[in-house]
Amino acid sequence: MGNFYRDNDDIQFLFKHINLAELAVALEEGFRFAPEFDYAPSSAEEAVQNYDMVLESLGELGADFIAPRAESVDREGNTLNEDGSVTRAQGIAEALEKLAQAQVMGFTLPYRYGGLNFPNVLYSMATEIISRADASLMNIFGLQGIAETINAFASEELKQEYLPPFAEGKVTGAMVLTEPDAGSDLQAVKLRAIEDSEGHWFLHGVKRFITNGCGEVLLVLARSEPDRSGGLGLSLFVCEPGPTVHIRRLEDKLGIHGSPTCEIFFDNTPCKLIGERRRGLAPYVATLMNGARIGIAAQSMGIAEAAYRIARDYAASRKQFGVAIEKLPAVRDMLIEMKIAIETGRALLYDTSRVVDLAVVYNRQVEENPPQDKDELKALKNNARTYKRYAGMLTPMSKYLCSEMCNRVAYDAIQVLGGSGYMRDYASERHARDARITTIYEGTSQLQIVAAVRGVCSGTAEKYLDELAALEYDDDVKDLLDLLAAGAEQLKAAIEFTKDKGNEYMDLYGRPLTDVAMDLINGYLLCGQASTKVEMDVPAAPGANGPTLPMRERKRTMARRFVTKNAPKIKALTELVCQGDKSTFAEYDTLVGPVPET
């Protein structure tokens, strides 16, 4: 029997390295739920054991049930029936049934609605495991953020109506946001929400590119204020399928074939308002999309892990010129870079998820259980603000880094396999097709950079780097910390230069600035992993009976390669920013020429 959790040394290491007990204490609120709910833990140790058992179960389900069906799911796809209903691929339907039986469809929901009350970092681990098995299934499993949004903003009546079925796996949801003329620019949404004289709401209009639009719970962004343009005219609504909800088409896509992508026409569909009017885009959909972006980062990690493993296995067994091709320097270097890219992406994603958990905990304490002492309350509010800013910067960074990495690893995996990778004999081509969407949906990489660079240039990145630099590290990585400190100074100088040039210049050089900030953050995270107190050995050579070495030693080697190779890159990128080249603005027409005929 396989297990996509137990066979991944890095996930298991990070499970032990991250202080999950601290998160458990905060989320369980002193373990006050244990007397009321049988499956609620009564201690941090029990909570962490529960986390481990659930990942173990998902890992086994992913390896033995979901992954073997992924190829047939990709070939079969979804079917739009004559009555407008959608039939999912058999493997997806069966997997959803198994996930419901495993009681993991309410991962972060409170106990009172049947949820597991798990931290986001565990949800990211679970999402990665599911995505490695079948990336298209994640697009349904990963939509639990819809339930989280209802929990965060809806009335208690709506929570009681929708959340228990979500947690039981009886329903799935859809984020119904995008329109033919409103993709990334959601402020341009036109679908109308009409209120009648009795206070009932109805939806009318078209939505497009809706993942799992055939789901049973639809969260719809609509214009409730016809006389008000922009985001302040939008509200968020919930509705269900029925005779007035028409799936007009299923998109014929490059990849993730098991995930139905729908065009929907709402013909005066009855719906209910979520929260308050005019707050649909901010904060409701903004919160929903931030969660979805972390989900796509985790999906990217799963695809990359699956693609890398095929390439690594092939390189070790395929012989050319009398040797396994992994002996060839070019292939060997490619595999090393793929492995380091995966583990740095995972480091940033899991740390982002941890920060999001802390932001949620601090904000909840401020709103629901504020301390009486004024100094304690002030400190708590400061923590809530600080971690909200950290999460606001790290979330788009994670989505950008992991999705771009995923595409690069999937591309290189095919290259390692050569002609075989281009054929359907291996899953490499499917992983490459599935990977391509990750840099596009839930906000393109370019939009993630626009969001992230504001955190970089506002002082948030500097503060976070200072916090990371202040942690305890082993003497073995002291020289690496010196390189990171030098890079942080170079970034600071580039930021000061950029701020003098205005927002347009900041957006122009957002990618190098964000890349440098991410390299520095990941450098510190890898140095922290190299200084870990976790006692864990990993295989040093292929084969279960081969020699082992301490994880700390392996992480030290990885940190050294990552930091030393990136130091010149950081210097070069910050110097590029400080050159002040504005030819993109001044010479655009000259450089790109006229619009070509098509």
The CA-atom distances, in angstroms, between 50 and each of 27, 43, 54, 116, 214 are 14, 11, 6, 10, 33
Can you point out the beta strands (E) in 71-181?
Answer: 79-80, 86-87, 173-176
Nearest of 209, 409, 236, 171 to residue 309 by alpha carbon: 409
Contact 13, 347 (CB under 8 A): no
Please spell the DSSP secondary structure of 527-595, one letter per residue.
Answer: HHHHT-----EEESSSSTTS-EEEHHHHHHHHHHHHHHHHHHHHHHHHHHHTT---HHHHSHHHHH-SP
Q: Is 193 helix (H, G, I), strand (E, B) or coil?
A: strand
Six token digits for residue 83: 């009555």
Q: Look up residue 285 and give its DSSP letter.
A: I
Reduced DSSP (H G I as helix, E B as strand, rest coil) percent helix, strand, coil of the chain, to 5: 60, 10, 25
Question: CA angle, 22 as apex, 364 and 466 as ends, to 5°?
Answer: 85
* Sequence ranges of the domains in the chain: 9-168+282-438, 173-281, 444-590
Contact 352, 359 (CB under 8 A): no
Domain 173-281 grouped into CATH 1.10.10.10: no
Give the homologous superfamily in CATH for domain 9-168+282-438: Butyryl-CoA Dehydrogenase, subunit A, domain 3 (1.20.140.10)
Q: What pTM was computed for the model? A: 0.97
First-to-last CA distance in the chain?
53
Can you point out the beta strands (E) in 47-125?
Answer: 79-80, 86-87
Six token digits for residue 355: 């920060």
| Overall size of the chain counted in residues | 598
Rounded distance, CA 148 to CA 150, Å? Answer: 5
Rounded distance, CA 174 to CA 179, Å? Answer: 14
Confidence at residue 539, expressed as pLDDT on a 0 to 100 scale? 78
Contact 498, 456 (CB under 8 A): no
Domain 444-590 grouped into CATH 1.10.340.30: no
Q: What phi and psi, each to the nearest 5 degrees, are found at residue 514?
A: -70, -40
pLDDT tens, residue order, the chain (598 aa): 899 999 999 999 999 999 999 999 999 999 999 999 999 999 999 999 999 999 999 999 999 999 999 999 999 999 999 999 999 999 999 999 999 999 999 999 999 999 999 999 999 999 999 999 999 999 999 999 999 999 999 999 999 999 999 999 999 999 999 999 988 899 999 999 999 999 999 999 999 999 999 999 999 999 999 999 999 999 999 999 999 999 999 999 999 999 999 999 999 999 999 999 999 999 999 999 999 999 999 999 999 999 999 999 999 999 999 999 999 999 999 999 999 999 999 999 999 999 999 999 999 999 998 999 999 999 999 999 999 999 999 999 999 999 999 999 999 999 999 999 999 999 999 999 999 999 999 999 999 999 999 999 999 999 999 999 999 999 999 999 999 999 999 999 999 999 999 999 999 999 999 999 999 999 999 999 999 989 898 876 555 456 788 899 999 999 999 999 999 999 999 999 999 999 999 999 999 999 999 8
Confidence at residue 544, expressed as pLDDT on a 0 to 100 scale? 47
Q: Look up residue 188 and give its DSSP letter.
A: G
Nearest of 390, 399, 381 to residue 465 by alpha carbon: 390
364: how many CB neighbours lie within 10 A of its CB?
Answer: 14
Rg (alpha carbons) of the chain, rounded to whole number:
24
- Secondary structure of 306-346 in HEC code, one letter for each residue: HHHHHHHHHHHHCEECCEEHHHCHHHHHHHHHHHHHHHHHH
Rounded distance, CA 297 to CA 291, Å? Answer: 10
Confidence at residue 262, expressed as pLDDT on a 0 to 100 scale? 97
Six token digits for residue 36: 């009321």
Strand partners for 265: 206, 246
Q: Look up residue 200 and give its DSSP letter.
A: -
Question: CA angle, 25 as apex, 24 and 26 as ends, to 5°?
Answer: 90
Rounded distance, CA 147 to CA 160, Å? Answer: 11
Sign (positive or negative) of CA dihedral 533, 535, 540, 541: negative
Q: Look up residue 88 and give its DSSP letter.
A: P
Q: Please state at what angle helix 551-577 crosses helix 329-368, rounded to 10 degrees.
A: 90
